[in-house]
Amino acid sequence: MASTYNTVRKLPQRLPPCRHHSSCRRGARGRTVAQRPPPRRLQLRSILGQCCEMSISFVQIPVGMAGSLLLVEKEYTVPMATTEECLVASTNRGYKAIHTSGGASSIVLRDAMTRAPVVRFSSTKCASKLKFYLEDPHNFNSLSIAFNK
């Protein structure tokens, strides 16, 4: 099975100079977020009231494609916005290892966002004990006192 990863990775070897690479990568995968090139002149007005409080400006960040990620028996190409060199390449190596080993599986326990303290444990067993403690409604008062000092 030929994967999108191999197709996209080999594009620079088959193409003329750099100008064509990004447009060909965008076309190589039909369902990616980055299907069109970024506008030449970005307008601050287009992001006001979205994404960030008290916006004063924004920057363009390069978007690379990582994939193919084999997750729950389905392949995904993941757009990654980053200025860190080699991050997309490193992610691709990880995706290749996952793909080669038969893929990964995932389950969503709860879809939410939180602002909370981070706690580190020496094992998942210790972490799970805290999880169950935190979920017990009888412990709310002691937790509230400890975290709201």
pLDDT digits (tens, 9 = 90+) for 77-86: 988 888 888 9
- Its pTM stands at 0.48
pLDDT band (50, 70, 90) for residue 102: very high
pLDDT digits (tens, 9 = 90+) for 50-72: 666 666 666 778 888 898 899 99
Q: What length does the chain have?
A: 149
* Residue 11 CA to its chain's centroid (Å): 23
Burial profile 53-74: b = 16 or more Cβ within 10 angstroms, e = fewer: eeeeeeeeeebbbbbbbbbeee
pLDDT digits (tens, 9 = 90+) for 12-31: 555 555 445 555 555 655 54
